[in-house]
Homo-oligomer: A and B are copies of this chain.
Amino acid sequence: MAKSVFYHAGCPVCLSAEHDIVNLVGADQVEVVHIGQDRNRIEEAEKAGVKSVPALVTHNGNVLHINFGASLADVRG
């Protein structure tokens, strides 16, 4: 199974959700991407359908927006 990708921007809501998701899914099953720092991956997240962070893109391409930290427009700045 391909990994899921968890996109976040370092906000408190993001970090709390990251902790929960990594615990639930397993650290080896999810790639964590900080798009606030790793800014060249913002476009990849948008193309995957991510509208806000934190969000989990599953291995089959579904986007789960989890709680609400920041819109992608805000991360892009």
Contact = CB atoms under 8 A, between A and B. Distances in A.
Contact of A65 (B4, B21, B56, B67): B67
Interface of A is mostly: mixed
Contacts of A43: none
10 contacts: A20-B58, A20-B60, A23-B58, A24-B24, A24-B29, A25-B25, A64-B66, A65-B66, A65-B68, A66-B66
Q: Tell me how many chains of this kind the complex includes.
A: 2
Q: Contact residue range for chain A?
A: 10 to 19
A25 B68 CA distance: 21
A62 interface: yes
A43 B21 CA distance: 25
